[in-house]
Structure 1
Amino acid sequence: MAVVLSETAGKLVGEAARLIMRGGYNGFSYADLAERFGIRKASIHHHFPSKVDLVVRVVEQGRLAIRAQIAALEQGSPIAMEQLLTYTGYWERCIKDQTAPFCLAAVLAAELPSLPPEIATSVRGHFIDLARWLEHVLSLGVEQGTMKLDASPAVEAETFMAAVYGAMLVARAFDDPERFEVIVQAFIHRVQA
């Protein structure tokens, strides 16, 4: 269920997401947000009593957006390979134009051992959602005869997730967005029937 945020809360969530993508959970503070928007930290606490509350909202807003994108993908095309290519194409564009150079949940997943439990639960939820969707898409691809899998759809879904997130990391490490596409395409070629 979507939570309607006030204009200020929405701006705080958006900026927190941007800061997390750039520097992780510990890479920003309420002082950064207060300075960015010219407000007092007390104003931020009014909307989000703690940083944990804010970051959970950031992750959950992201999960809602992804669910909406998946629903649109499924309605737009019943063809599994097209859904997979649209998903990877989204990340390819985001990495190239730097709108989302790295998945926020992936940044937070790297910090899981040190994150508060509420945030860790939301981050894990993101990966569970994504794995289920990818498993569905890969199963559909097998049914449609456009994909062949070496392992179960569940294992292949997690393998694909690892390829996508690993490709993000490689693109970032080498400061070369093109590497993302090369790595992801290798997986896609492997599963094409």
Structure 2
Amino acid sequence: MNTTYTNILQHADALIQSNGFHGFSYADLAKELDIRKASIHHHFATKADLGIAFCQLKCEQLKQLESHLKTLPSAKARLQGYFAVFQSCANDGQMCGIYAMQTDLRLMAEPLQKQVLKMADLELNILSDILQVGLDNGEFNFKPTAYQQAVIICCAIKGALMLNRSEHHAGLFNQTCDAWIEMLA
């Protein structure tokens, strides 16, 4: 069901991925949705409230992703499935919403900071679990812990998404994902 609440969150997601959390205002969001700012304030009294709802939505989506990935037959397929989630960001020249939120972390109120960190930790744990399965079954080979490797991979692919935003580096995200699959084998 598409409600004003979900429309606001969906458009906020797109704006966060394009401009970062502090890179848009309620006026921008209202214009995009063709509604009044008061309608946004009705659902989200403050921008921090909007940010918290965004983080909660992303956590729910991450949990759904985790459930889906666990149905895939191999760690390599799970890793490819994880990478595929970011393909639309790469195609649209956007950042990862999770990392876009982290760039503004120090500017956020503590309740929002906690939600952003919870979201980022959830993503790293999902990726770490995939890597641990691959290490345990011999599909992957790497020296650091699975969690350390997850941090390295996250930084690489999210950095590739940032670079991918310019035409000069178009395709860099896909090249980075392919290189990780090859390096882990």
> Where do 5+ consecutive residues of structure 1 fail to align?
none
Q: Deviations over 1:123-168 (max 9, x none)?
A: 2112211111111111100122111111111111111111111111
Give the match for residue 62 of structure 2: 66
Cα deviation, residue 9, structure 1 = 0.7
What is the DSSP-based 3-state SS (H/G/I as helix, E as strand, rest coil) of the residue aligned with 1:102?
coil
With normalisation by structure 2, the TM-score equals 0.90
Q: Does 1:28 align with 2:21?
A: no
- 1:1-193 map, 5 Å: 7-75=3-71, 77-96=72-91, 98=92, 101-192=94-185
Deviation >3 Å, runs of 4+: 173-177
Paired letter, 1:13:
L
Is the CA contact 1:171–1:178 (under 8 Å) kept in the aligned structure 2?
yes
> Where do 5+ consecutive residues of structure 2 fail to align?
none
Is the CA contact 2:94–2:162 (under 8 Å) kept in the aligned structure 1?
no
Is the CA contact 1:92–1:177 (under 8 Å) kept in the aligned structure 2?
no
Is the CA contact 2:163–2:172 (under 8 Å) kept in the aligned structure 1?
yes
| Farther-moved stretch of structure 1 (12-21 vs 29-38) | 29-38
Q: Percent identity?
A: 25
Is the CA contact 1:163–1:187 (under 8 Å) kept in the aligned structure 2?
no
Count of aligned pairs between the two proteins: 185
Is the CA contact 1:16–1:33 (under 8 Å) kept in the aligned structure 2?
yes
What is the DSSP-based 3-state SS (H/G/I as helix, E as strand, rest coil) of the residue aligned with 2:113?
helix
How far apart, in 1, do the equivalents of 2:168 and 2:81 lie?
23
With normalisation by structure 1, the TM-score equals 0.87
How far apart, in 1, do the equivalents of 2:25 and 2:84 lie?
32
How far apart, in 1, do the equivalents of 2:60 and 2:168 lie?
30
Cα deviation, residue 116, structure 1 = 2.0
Task: Specify whether residues 124 and 144 from structure 1 end up closer, same or farther in structure 2 by C-alpha distance, changes over 3 A only.
Answer: same
Paired letter, 1:64:
E
